[in-house]
Structure 1
Amino acid sequence: MTAEFWDREKDFWKQGPAEAARRLDVSCLFVHAAWGILNRDRLLTAMQEVPRWKEVALSDQKATLADEVVALAYRVLASRPGQPEYRALCSTTWVNRSGEWRILLHQQTAI
């Protein structure tokens, strides 16, 4: 089951705001050193202002599952044209809402 979530996680880095809107829980929080702590609406607005990542590699992947919650922790190396590579420690908590998996919390710490 965790392979499915790693695929979702990698896709989330590459897909745009429309797909993010489908995957983010209504009470989602996003924690980022440069952007601060954003709620769902502010995150979707911020995502419209930056290009999506073209290449994404996840490593040092750890996962824990409990009933309707999946927590992921990992390192990411991401790149997009014209910008330096981005390296971060990340965590994402997915929650099952009526059969749909949604992102409840995502955190990035650049390294």
Structure 2
Amino acid sequence: MEDARVWEFEESLWTGDPDTYEALIDPECLMVLPEHDYVFTGAQAIKAVQKTPRWAEVKFSEQQVSRPQQGLIILAYKAEASRSDESYLAYCTTTIRRLEHDEWRVLQHQQTVPLKAG
């Protein structure tokens, strides 16, 4: 998957509907998110997203893409997301694996919210 499609894939996880999210998260996925329970399995993350309003917009910066082996992509980036009632900033990593031609799933995702100065 070329870089432009990788970032479209990642954006869809932030802004897409819960069905999109469920389709792209691997059952073996593990996530660390800055909200209570912090450590989630893929099934737990999918369930949590069904109850969470989706982001209207997300912008990525400080983007890095690594391809350590065929069918494995690792992303690192800064995400700035917003919706009508709030905004959110986090530094993230995502690991995506290819199951077969043009079929990719998230294996790992992590979000770190920067500490506030002061």
Q: TM-score range by the shorter chain?
A: over 0.9
Equivalent residue number for residue 58 of structure 1 = 60
Pairs within 5 Å for 1:87-102: 87-99=89-101, 100-102=103-105
CA distance in 2, matches of 1:21, 1:49: 13
Q: Tell me the matched-pair count.
A: 110
CA distance in 2, matches of 1:2, 1:16: 22
Structure ID, larger Rg: 2
2:49 matches 1:47 = yes
Tell me the secondary structure at the aligned position of residue 4 of structure 2.
helix
Pairs within 5 Å for 1:8-27: 8-27=9-28
Q: CA RMSD in A?
A: 1.0
Equivalent residue number for residue 104 of structure 1 = 107
Pairs within 5 Å for 1:30-41: 30-35=31-36, 36-41=38-43
Equivalent residue number for residue 72 of structure 1 = 75
Paired letter, 2:57: E
CA distance in 1, matches of 2:111, 2:72: 19
CA distance in 1, matches of 2:85, 2:112: 21
Structure 1 segments unaligned to the other structure (5+ residues): none
CA distance in 2, matches of 1:81, 1:12: 18
CA deviations over 1:11-61 (Å, ceiling 9, x no partner): 110012211111111101111121311111111111112100001000000
Paired letter, 1:37: V
Structure 2 segments unaligned to the other structure (5+ residues): none
Q: TM-score, normalised by structure 1?
A: 0.93
Dislocated runs of 4+, deviation >2 Å: none
Q: TM-score, normalised by structure 2?
A: 0.88
